[in-house]
């Protein structure tokens, strides 16, 4: 089951976390307003990603009650770690999350990705797109037919090269944009 979030920001964030940790949709609760994803990356630790949404699947605010319910669900579900994503968090909900060692939160104002994580997600997505488009992932830049005679004839290669440049300079915001561009290329391939 796939869920399409109406927020470009949230959709890209979820895709990034799915790429890094293997999250898959496990539950959609319209009554409480969330979409749950569980990590399936072979790790023995049970991980939850909860996206707080409204009935139209736009991300919404996480208040104290939302976080309290999430904490109860964590205990009931036997999760070892959780990430809660919302478009914003109240001060009370942030305090509650910070008290817990095994919970992180993500919002447009609070992202927690390192340069290494973004590069890994870009490499994972590039690999998938190359396999979809060309049937294989090139072992070297010379094996890729997406660039020749100084001209790009493949957007995947162009974004990948852009990302290499952005990594050299440590530009996290542009790397996040590169990942977002790769995700949007999925529909074109």
Q: For 78-126, what is each residue's pLDDT tens digit?
A: 888 999 999 999 999 999 999 998 899 999 988 778 889 999 999 999 9
Rounded distance between C-alpha atoms, residue 115 and residue 138, angstroms: 23
CATH of 8-106, one of 3.20.20.80, 3.30.1490.20, 3.40.1340.10, 3.30.1330.10: 3.40.1340.10
pTM, to two decimals: 0.85
Domain boundaries, the chain: 8-106, 115-185
Q: Going edge to edge, which strands form the sheet with 23-29?
A: 23-29, 34-39, 47-52, 81-85, 103-106
pLDDT at 157: 96
Report the DSSP pairing between strands 61-62 and 88-89.
parallel
Rounded distance between C-alpha atoms, residue 62 and residue 84, angstroms: 9
CA distances from 10 to 121, 132, 181 (A): 16, 24, 14
pLDDT at 121: 95
pLDDT at 53: 96
- Token pair 């001209």 in the structure block, residue: 151
- Is residue 54 within 8 Å of 28, Cβ to Cβ? no
- Is residue 55 within 8 Å of 77, Cβ to Cβ? no
Name residues of the chain where pLDDT drops below 70. 40-43
């Amino acid at each position: 089951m796939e869920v399409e979030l109406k927020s470009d920001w949230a959709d890209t964030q979820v895709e990034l976390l799915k790429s890094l940790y293997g999250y898959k949709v496990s539950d959609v609760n319209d009554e409480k307003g969330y979409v749950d994803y569980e990590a399936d990356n072979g790790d023995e630790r049970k991980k939850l990603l909860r996206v707080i949404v409204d009935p139209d699947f736009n991300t919404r605010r996480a208040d104290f009650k939302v976080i309290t319910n999430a904490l109860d669900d964590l205990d009931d579900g036997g999760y070892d770690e959780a990430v809660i994503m919302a478009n914003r968090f109240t001060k009370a909900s942030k305090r509650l999350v910070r008290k817990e060692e095994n919970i992180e939160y993500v919002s447009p104002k609070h992202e927690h990705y390192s340069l290494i994580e973004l590069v890994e997600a870009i490499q994972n997505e590039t690999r998938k797109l190359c396999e979809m488009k060309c049937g294989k992932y090139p072992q070297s830049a010379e094996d890729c037919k997406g660039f020749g005679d100084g001209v790009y004839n493949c957007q995947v290669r162009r974004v990948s090269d852009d990302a290499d440049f952005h990594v050299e300079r440590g530009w996290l915001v542009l790397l996040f944009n590169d990942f977002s561009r790769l995700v949007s290329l999925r529909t074109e391939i």
